[in-house]
Amino acid sequence: MAFSQNYELVWSEEFESTCLNSEIWNIETGYGKNYEEQLYTKASENLKIENGKLIVTAIKSKDENEYSSARINTLNKQHFKYGKIEIRAKLPVGKGTWPAIWMLGTNHLTKGYPYCGEIDIMEHVGKSPNEVHGAVHYPVENEELISSSDQITIKDLKDGYHIYAIEWDRKEITYFIDGEKYFNFDISEANQCFKKNVFRKPFYLIINLALGGNWAGEIDNSIFPAQFYIDFIKYYKPQ
């Protein structure tokens, strides 16, 4: 796989244990935002490790029109600033699914959103089964939220694992899938007078599988259980 410069592996998570490593991960609970319909839980039916894979499963209650799923993050445990991050994952199939691999600034809890900044390494909605999206979100002087994004079409997206990656330095964030570049963001666009650029600060990682909401839309109840597989996460620094 060709990238723009040489990197050295400095950290990895390959899910070799039988349970989630609490020294790396926090499990979030409660309802999602963006008008999503799932409840995030700690239940093994929603979150487990099996055969070296993290499996996030969204399910529908048998008795009511209610949904549950899982969301985990690395806040205060594993942070990232510059370098290359790559995640090998297999996405769920079906309308209404919204899996994401993304990051927020580590000052999220103190500064709030969007002042912490957001880097979306991979987002996918089941109603567009062949599209992968990469994006950044950040504030500007008048406290308005600005977004910059692009997408790539992958014909065999649902058929197996793919590697989603970013390369990030002081100047830019570049997005790849399976080594193919499809989006580049110039970090200077997020400059603000007398404030440090949000993309020149540490971020933490989030993995979740949402349902419905203001982007994924109507949920097809025939798709459950819907499963999001993560094979590995690797973090590299320039040599």
Q: Which residues are catalytic?
A: 118, 123
Rounded to the nearest 5°, which phi and psi values hold at 121? Answer: -70, -40
Q: How far is CA 127 from CA 94, 97, 159, 218, in A?
A: 7, 8, 16, 9
Pairwise CA distance, residues 220 & 125, whole Å: 12
CB 230 within 8 A of CB 70: no
DSSP 3-state of 239: coil
Pairwise CA distance, residues 237 & 223, whole Å: 39
Amino acid at 21: N
Amino acid at 7: Y
Kindly state the DSSP code that residue 4 receives in the 8-state scheme: S
CB 119 within 8 A of CB 185: no
Pairwise CA distance, residues 37 & 39, whole Å: 7
Pairwise CA distance, residues 92 & 53, whole Å: 14
